[in-house]
Amino acid sequence: MTTEFWSCEQYDAEAQKLYEAGDYDAALDLLKEGLSLYPGSPELLVSLGYARLARDEFAWARRAFEESLGTVPDHEEALAGMGEVLLKLGERGRAFLLFERVLELGFHTDVDLMLCIGRILYREGLTQKAERFFRLALRAEPECADAAIELAYTLHRLGEGRSALRWARRAVQLDTTHNEARAFFANLLYEDGHFAAALDQFERIPVSRMWDPVAIWRTSELLRRVRGHEANAAVVQSYMDRLERITADPTPEEMVLAEVEATFNGETLRAADHPGQLDMFGWIPAVRPDEDHQVRAADGRIYEGDWESIVMAMRDGSDDPTRSLDEFMRGEADRLRDQTGVVIAHDDPRSFIEESAKVGALRIER
């Protein structure tokens, strides 16, 4: 596409499309081009900051947000972005002040911004603070399904199961096509022992739109338990095929296509370095034992280091960081077994992480 005679707004809008499609590299390149023509543009700098954040380039993101705020000190999106950067860098006090500044400026009625800040806090494990912003979003727009399901996630993490169930139900009522909300609602019903109701909700989600391995496991289990289907019944097999599809190793043909696509995107994928699975589809890449690893938890938190240090970091961020490593792995393995019916190894950190990834509890990115 040609960018000749593009306005600053056009650069920003096109970069936003690339960002939302997950093509952060292309978005970054386009924003740099835009800034070469419109240096100091607050909007382009804010978008640049978020593109840098998506690539975990926190120092560069901070610089972009600082430049934007230097031009427009109360730019609400720059304040939120800078707050996220500061949280990533451990400067929580300053981050909280920036989020409060957003509210002082009257943006508590901006639903998208409240959801943005709430999600930032949720990803960092600051659940009670996240709850506040999701409730503000709902106060501003009571029929916002996204706000309702985000609040449901948050309340569930806070141990408020009944309230979580109520808001998950509300999210599904507000948007009957919100498959993620319906899957979470069904999971809550399952955990509450309402198996027939859970199955009814699971079955309303097209199999091709199910991405949660736990939900898929539970649906296949309930089809046997509630409907009385045999394990080899076609309807049960359709879910098992789906589970295999979203967790299985790529075929040689898929590996070749992925390498070709990566080459056209200006990247280099060496098959020797990735003999297992490709991250771009949520698969589990094989990693050489002498490398550091990167693992993304279900809540979005990223852990880096060797296998043991990653599990230690997970333990330290859990509800009971005083447990030994063995106790933590055993407890998580038991929880996952209850959710999925799959026995997770817990005798060593590497096996624990790899088998947790296979049931969708986390993702190995490196």
Q: Between these two residues, 283 and 155, which has the higher pLDDT value?
A: 155
Question: Is the backbone of residue 164 left (phi > 0), alpha (psi -120 to 50) or beta?
Answer: alpha
Q: Which DSSP state fits 363? A: E
Residue 273: predicted pLDDT = 36
Q: How confident is the model at residue 251 (pLDDT cuts 50, 70, 90)?
A: low
Q: Between these two residues, 298 and 282, which has the higher pLDDT value?
A: 298
Residue 323: predicted pLDDT = 79
- Taking only the tens place, the pLDDT of each residue in 18-60 is 998 889 999 999 999 999 999 999 999 999 999 999 998 999 9
Domain boundaries, the chain: 1-105, 252-364
Percentage of the chain beyond pLDDT 90 is 61
* Mean pLDDT lowest among 9-13, 119-123, 198-202, 249-253: 249-253
Residue 252: predicted pLDDT = 53
pTM of the complete model: 0.67
- Taking only the tens place, the pLDDT of each residue in 288-344 is 444 578 888 876 788 888 888 899 888 888 877 777 888 889 888 888 877 666 788
Q: How confident is the model at residue 2 (pLDDT cuts 50, 70, 90)?
A: low
Q: Between these two residues, 284 and 198, which has the higher pLDDT value?
A: 198
Dihedral of CA 29/35/40/42: which sign? Answer: negative
Residue closest to 76 by CA, chosen among 93, 98, 97: 98
Phi, psi values for residue 91, rounded to 5°? -95, 70
Residue 287: predicted pLDDT = 39
Q: How confident is the model at residue 366 (pLDDT cuts 50, 70, 90)?
A: confident
Average pLDDT over the chain, rounded to an integer: 85
Please state the rounded mean pLDDT for residues 170-179: 96
Q: Between these two residues, 78 and 249, which has the higher pLDDT value?
A: 78
Block residue for tokens 């019903």:
189
Burial (CB count <10 Å: 0-12, 13-18, 19+), residue 230: exposed
Percentage of the chain beyond pLDDT 70 is 86
* CATH number for region 1-105: 1.25.40.10
Question: What residues have CB less than 8 Å from 279, skipping those under 6 apart?
Answer: 285, 363, 365, 366
- Taking only the tens place, the pLDDT of each residue in 101-153 is 999 999 999 999 999 999 999 999 999 999 999 999 999 999 999 999 999 99
- Taking only the tens place, the pLDDT of each residue in 155-170 is 999 999 999 999 999 9
Task: Using CA atoms of 29, 30, 36, 37 in order, give the dihedral in degrees to the nearest 10.
Answer: 170
Residue 339: predicted pLDDT = 67
Residue 279: predicted pLDDT = 29
H-helix or E-strand containing 87?
helix 76-88
Please state the rounded mean pLDDT for residues 259-281: 37
Residue 365: predicted pLDDT = 80
Is pLDDT of 358 > 50?
Answer: yes
Residue 250: predicted pLDDT = 54
Block residue for tokens 């948050």:
154
Q: How confident is the model at residue 282 (pLDDT cuts 50, 70, 90)?
A: very low
Is pLDDT of 278 > 50?
Answer: no
